[in-house]
Structure 1
């Protein structure tokens, strides 16, 4: 997530160089992992226990740029859901389901490649490229004359949005010692949660005014601000290599992974929503996608010198536990954010905008608990207890939420998700620490790119699992008198909701009860998954967090020169 510019403790002068051996390629990864920030001023060391102290103005300007970028990326992921009907009517199209899927698809599939590009072309260049691509996608979507162009624009937006989130995390890892990162990860987590919460109401309000295009046009000035701040203040020194050397470092086998993960995500996205799970349109991409990813892993393990997948990291028990917890957190968090509004619309008769407002109790709880958890880890130097607390609160929250019925009181549907939000917020800020704590500095940026992919892939699974459960349960629970009106639609859940308010009693109550009971099963599945996350936490070891600001954490002084014919600025 976001990263700073002015560094606490010692900084390198802009002329500092590190000589490297002529064999640049084997040393490239280690070199770029110690990206110091160029700065003319000596920043003060942060006060003990306060990770926010001692940072210069340039640090905060860059951190602001990265928070704005994260906000835009998260907002676009959720806000579009309440503009789809207006968008489809304006463009005279029924293919609106791809508007959301296209963004999620490209943002998830290309995340690992973003990490590789950052290692080769540098953090600043990759971040700027992600922002420009996101802005281009926003402009195309806003000006689109047809739904096909909207989908194209959203696909381009997704490439930029996924890159933004990945680069934010990588830059924080580069520029801050591990003991300080929790607080900043927490702030970024809060920004993500707030943007996810206010996105649907904002999108709905613009759609109601017939101005859905402004959801995308408004990205342009905000992205421009972020680009200017990154361009002028994020001066992370990069290896001075030729384009030929950069291209030689790229992992071209990653194309196979992108294709495989894309096919898998397509199958998961379509299954139970656009097509039945037994349809060849779902099974073929799932089978081919899984085969493609398996083939990619085999080739990477056997033949690739600088693999995209960090096999050396995955062999560490504590890091592997962190990745698994992050994947599960992605599943349960998106399931909560995605299906609570379905509960409100189907059982309480709320509009899309009001259901987004009702979600505030969850989202606005995630934000402060993410920040508090990050600070607590930095102050205490421990992360294991926070992970156990996070999973415990999440289990309790889903357990209480699973008790909601169609006629539950406002106190229940407002109060129960609060505990869920507390747990999810704690986990948002804590699951990266078991991943990073055992690793060498040169491994950490690579690990964070893969960390971002596991979270995004988990989020796709969260929507897919929830969709499958909901469709299957509705098939069993909805009264036949009502399902006969749906004409055999495979999208039972979303095609049925607009019809509920117009039903006569007692059929309306029966349908609302059927939805409540079906959504209850989603929460029960999430209880089981959160329980699995709790068990995985036992695999973690409690390792110390360094509070040193030195070369091992990207704040190196000049390294002693070695025999070389080339120099790389760091």
Structure 2
């Protein structure tokens, strides 16, 4: 049977659709939590008296998710996709239960760390399993459906978070995850029928690069701690920030050196970075992670601080972002699938994002509905196009046997960048608010407090003149955040010039295919279908 015929058979069977459904539900579970928390943060920090630690509610989750990603990819290769996904869902369940029962900010931050381990693994395993089931050349539409799921969660998440925070209790935001995680666990256990690599437990443990994973976890943790502290709890030039930042990035550099020289089965095989097309895709993914999470986290701040919106209403006002991302992610996937080329949606996405963020810098405290809706719409179009487009230049030049490692690093770049996006934007906003807010209002907050989220519940209680000054200060400060996103988008646009069109794979790796059917095609060797061995010359077969 030809590869094309095998692909058609595998992508139309009941086992395939049940397996794909299990992956989609897991992806939805993780995405809902990330997006719902943003609108509830002001209420959470106010109730737990943790205005000085607000950024850690998101950063602890992102930090844990980023640190675990390379390790989860290696676990998936060694122990199989289904056991690894079940473990991640279990971690997410436990972390959600602990978050919902938190009595103080330290408890919540620790619980979010546990939750982040599960959430990061879920997102990573979801993309890896989809790559096992669907050849890259046919993945555009399916990739779009995964992003559609994420964006649907992004659409309803802020409203759910705002509703619980305003009408009930924010704790139900986390308790809601418990039945969803239970459903996801059952679906994975019953329907995710993919092969598990053979071998004893001892043989599999020996294959795991424990030292390499320890190095990257330590490096990532230290770097993100420094980024979280910088400009908020401590000045950027203080030892509290510089020491962990320098040591953290030293560990990350050591990880790359160690992986290239020591382990026989490295966590990060360097052939996933050996050509400029894949490298450009990773860098573009990193930049996209920064700008996309900033939009999700800081538009609700604009709505609640400048427009006196309630948590629920701010979630509704975020609809232009949430509901536009997903259709244009699917559009990008369809374009790639039908044309076999991926450069155009990458170009278009960054250009539109540049325009959108540029317009957002013009938003004022009294901007019209047409302005904040229209500017959001444009930015969301660009964000959606890029969301679905960077995976293709990353995977096209590498052999299918390296997909899990490549996707683990892809998800690491995105998750690591999202934490950068939250913390960099928080630092910019904090510093700008200190400069722009009226002195009598600033005097209400102790040193080290995160002003934005601590201030929002107080704004509506202020006298009219002071309230208008505070609203204007927030709008002007957020304009600087959007200007920073213009810079990141410009850098993203420049990465596209490194891309080359590479013929995309029409095979998958049989090692992890569906159990009830034969392989999609013969298992390729490391050299077959491996144009990346040509290095940065990128003299690749063009589509």
Higher helix proportion, which one? Answer: 2
Q: Is the 8 A contact 2:133 2:508 kept in 1?
A: no
Other-structure match for 1:69: 26
Would you say 1:123 and 2:81 are equivalent positions? yes
Other-structure match for 2:151: 193
Q: Which among 309, 315, 318 is matched to residue 356 of structure 1?
A: 315
> How many angstroms does 1:247 deviate by?
0.9
Q: Which among 101, 125, 133 is matched to residue 91 of structure 2?
A: 133
Q: Which among 6, 9, 28 is matched to residue 10 of structure 1?
A: 6
More divergent stretch after superposition (364-373 vs 229-238):
229-238
More divergent stretch after superposition (337-346 vs 283-292):
283-292
Other-structure match for 2:193: 235
Other-structure match for 2:538: none
- Pick closer, same or farther for the CA change 1:512–1:140 going to 2, 3 Å: closer
> How many angstroms does 1:143 deviate by?
4.1
Other-structure match for 1:462: 421
> How many angstroms does 1:93 deviate by?
6.8
TM-score of the pair, normalised by structure 1: 0.84
Would you say 1:346 and 2:342 are equivalent positions? no
- Pick closer, same or farther for the CA change 1:477–1:144 going to 2, 3 Å: closer
Other-structure match for 2:390: 431
**Higher radius of gyration, 1 or 2:** 1
Q: Is the 8 A contact 1:377 1:383 kept in 2?
A: yes
Other-structure match for 1:277: 236
Query: Does the residue aligned with 1:307 lie in a helix, a strand or coil?
Result: coil
Q: Find the aligned partners of 1:94 and 1:466 in 2 and give their Cα distance.
A: 16
Q: Deviations over 1:268-312 (max 9, x none)?
A: 122223333234332332122112222222222222222222322
Q: Is the 8 A contact 1:95 1:147 kept in 2?
A: no
More divergent stretch after superposition (427-436 vs 219-228):
219-228
> How many angstroms does 1:410 deviate by?
0.8
Number of equivalenced pairs: 515
Q: Find the aligned partners of 2:105 and 2:511 in 1 and give their Cα distance.
A: 50
Q: Is the 8 A contact 2:72 2:84 kept in 1?
A: yes
Other-structure match for 1:50: none
CA RMSD of aligned residues (A): 2.5
> How many angstroms does 1:458 deviate by?
1.0
Other-structure match for 1:365: 324
> How many angstroms does 1:548 deviate by?
5.7
Q: Find the aligned partners of 2:434 and 2:50 in 1 and give their Cα distance.
A: 27
- Pick closer, same or farther for the CA change 1:9–1:127 going to 2, 3 Å: farther
How do 1:126-525 and structure 2 match up within 5 A?
126-144=84-102, 147-253=105-211, 254-525=213-484
Query: Does the residue aligned with 2:373 lie in a helix, a strand or coil?
Result: helix
Other-structure match for 2:9: 44
Q: Is the 8 A contact 2:89 2:118 kept in 1?
A: yes
- Pick closer, same or farther for the CA change 1:508–1:149 going to 2, 3 Å: closer
Q: Find the aligned partners of 1:467 and 1:449 in 2 and give their Cα distance.
A: 27
- Pick closer, same or farther for the CA change 1:479–1:550 going to 2, 3 Å: closer
Q: Deviations over 1:315-367 (max 9, x none)?
A: 21100000000000001111111111111122111122221221111111001
Q: Find the aligned partners of 2:276 and 2:174 in 1 and give their Cα distance.
A: 43
Q: Is the 8 A contact 2:508 2:523 kept in 1?
A: no
> How many angstroms does 1:552 deviate by?
11
> How many angstroms does 1:400 deviate by?
1.4
Structure 2 residues not aligned, in runs of 5+ = 514-518, 525-543
Q: Is the 8 A contact 1:328 1:530 kept in 2?
A: yes
- Pick closer, same or farther for the CA change 1:278–1:352 going to 2, 3 Å: farther
How do 1:520-559 and structure 2 match up within 5 A?
520-547=479-506, 555-557=519-521
